[in-house]
Amino acid sequence: MKGTTVKNLSFSYPGDTRLILKDIDLEVEAGEFVCLLGQSGCGKSTFLRLLAGLEKPTVGEITQDGKMIEGAGLDRGVVFQSYGLFPWMTAGDNIMLALKQKYKNKTKAEHKEIAMKALRAVGLKDDVFNKLPKELSGGMKQRCAIAQAFSINPPVLLMDEPFGALDAVTRARLQDMVLELWSSTEDKKTVFFVTHDVDEALLLSTRICVLGQAPSKVIYDVKIPADRKPTRDTLFDDVEMMKLRNELIRYINRDVASHIE
């Protein structure tokens, strides 16, 4: 079956008996845009690392397209909040590093052509290719990181609060850009997007999974039909979306309150 399946997943770090995640079961169809929503420290990023193959489940399993995830792979692109660019390499070389791993039979010229196309797709000019990360703004560095992830054309894209450190205007522009990139292809990528921002989740996702406090599990799971998906202009005018927004906040606050008590 095409998609990502999480079965009976629990996780604790080696040498620590405290569970970070507990008894998570999730079926995600190929092409869904899933926002993992919850308070800071609830295990969202840990869950993403498990999906990326950077950590291994303590209990349970994760499969992609029917195959067990047992480590990192080029079938999953990852975008971190910290950009993930090597500071001693130019933006272009950072992108080409991934391309050399994915397309080993292509020439350097072909790798550069793909990298340039990826930079243009995220709205950057050609001269960015030869610039070091220190010469770029935060928004430009994040665009480069997204270009790097999209350039290897993975079926699954994992994004860990990629816009959390950006100003509001840049954040909005990159949200719109990611939505456009995701929706512009016939075979949409499956996206797992970590955020603690309810409005960001409503704007981006086709499905929202709320994670509770550790030991974390999915405490609320809702799909947003294509004909109900809000835009930036309608998000705060749509009565049904405002009801859903309040419901999401209610679940998060109830969970936090139960752990305080």
DSSP code of 185?
S
pLDDT confidence of residue 35: 96
List, for residues 175-220, the tens digit of each pLDDT value: 998 888 888 877 889 999 999 899 999 999 999 999 998 888 999 9
List, for residues 28-80, the tens digit of each pLDDT value: 999 999 999 988 888 899 999 999 999 999 999 999 998 999 888 888 999 88
More confident residue, 145 or 41: 145
Ranges 51-60, 109-118, 158-167: which has the least confidence = 158-167
Residues above pLDDT 90, as percent of the chain: 52
**SS3 (DSSP) at 21:** strand
Average pLDDT over residues 18-26: 93
The pTM is what? 0.91
The token duo for 65 is 């397209």
Q: How many CB atoms lie within 10 A of CB 76?
A: 22
Average pLDDT over residues 229-258: 88
pLDDT confidence of residue 222: 95
Tokens 């195959």 -> residue = 67
Average pLDDT of every residue of the chain? 89
The token duo for 168 is 């509001």
pLDDT confidence of residue 224: 93
Average pLDDT over residues 232-248: 90
Q: Is it the case that residue 1 has pLDDT exceeding 60?
A: no
Q: How many CB atoms lie within 10 A of CB 1?
A: 10
In total, the chain counts a number of residues equal to 261
Q: Is it the case that residue 2 has pLDDT exceeding 80?
A: no
The CA distance from 228 to 141, in Å, is 33
pLDDT confidence of residue 135: 94
